[in-house]
Chains A and B, each alone.
Chain A
Amino acid sequence: RKEVEQDPGPFNVPEGATVAFNCTYSNSASQSFFWYRQDCRKEPKLLMSVYSSGNEDGRFTAQLNRASQYISLLIRDSKLSDSATYLCVVNMRDNYGQNFVFGPGTRLSVLP
């Protein structure tokens, strides 16, 4: 079983749609959680951290369910510029203190 799994995608949605991505992780000792965005041929960039209480940043909402070891990202009112690959990242503690594990990513295409 992979340590971090995501919806395989791709997701093709019209502008204005709401889209949700799911991510599950295997290590219950995981400490922190992030969503990164990666544009084609570019480096990943932090979209938002994910907090236990859930958090919102404009059109983006992230939620964490520790009991189910599940993270989600909701994008409302999709824009063409949201087209990218979304990476779920879990910081799993190990003997060295930290171990960032990336999911395989889910590709989103927002269509006009």
Chain B
Amino acid sequence: DVKVTQSSRYLVKRTGEKVFLECVQDMDHENMFWYRQDPGLGLRLIYFSYDVKMKEKGDIPEGYSVSREKKERFSLILESASTNQTSMYLCASQLGEQYFGPGTRLTVT
């Protein structure tokens, strides 16, 4: 069974803070993705990675960066959190179909 874990289920941060969201998968998948999900907007791709140290911008990369130092771990970084980054963040790992982590609900106050 594929397992994708995310470091936190709920997170509350202040405006301007640097935020790290961690995602780990245990199936040796090469492809990993970060999405955010907002009511009425569906899932939107922030960044993805096809290999270690490789990253590509998705549809809404502004305000975010990522890191993939090890194959199993894909981190999403909010350099300076803003209130419009309050959202549900979902990480996915992919081989064939995508497998999602449980999500991190981030609130920026």
Binding site for B on A (CB under 8 A): 32, 34, 41-46, 49, 87, 89, 96-98, 100, 102-105
Contacts and interface: CB of A to CB of B under 8 A. Distances in A.
Contact of B42 (A45, A96, A98, A103): A103
A44 B100 contact: yes
A38 to B, nearest CB: 9
B98 interface: yes
Contacts of B100: 43-45
B56 A46 contact: no
A45 B48 CA distance: 19
Contact of A43 (B31, B45, B94, B102): B102
Contacts, number: 41
Contacts of A44: 43, 90, 100
A32 B95 CA distance: 12
B47 interface: no
Closest 7 CB pairs of A and B: A43-B100, A104-B42, A102-B43, A46-B97, A43-B103, A44-B100, A43-B102
B103 to A, nearest CB: 5
Contacts of B98: 46, 89, 100
A46 B94 CA distance: 12
A103 B101 CA distance: 19
A34 B90 contact: no
A1 to B, nearest CB: 15
Contact of A46 (B43, B50, B99, B103): B99
Contact of A98 (B31, B101, B103, B105): B31
